[in-house]
Amino acid sequence: MMRVDDRLLDGPPMRSLACERCAAEVLVRKSSWQQTSVQWDGRATALCAERDPAAASFEGCASLRDTIRASALRGTLPVADGDADGAA
């Protein structure tokens, strides 16, 4: 029997967020200042200004990372643990 992955059922839901650099829209959830979940779809991957379409792998986007951090600091993206001390 396949195990159901219910880790994202606790805490805030994933929210849509557009990168401030290229407008690629992903789903994001911040469980803490140290842990972020990002769900990319094909459209977001194609729009990402930092992704090399010829590369075999994609480690992530620094611009999106900056957008997520700024949104969390502004309070528009909730941080589940709510501990602002971890934001440094």
- Residues 47-58, mean pLDDT to the nearest whole number: 91
DSSP string, the chain: -PPP--GGGSSSPPEEEE-TTT--EEEEEESSSS-EEEE--HHHHHH-SS--TTSS-----HHHHHHHHHHHHHTSS-BTT--GGGG-
Q: Confidence class of residue 84 from pLDDT cuts 50, 70 and 90?
A: low
Q: What pLDDT score does 17 carry? A: 98
Do residues 27 and 13 touch, judged by C-beta distance below 8 A?
A: no
Give how far the C-alpha of residue 72 lies from the chain's centroid of Cα atoms, to the nearest Å: 11
Distance CA 14, CA 16 (A): 7
pLDDT over threshold 70, residue 71: yes
The model's pTM:
0.81
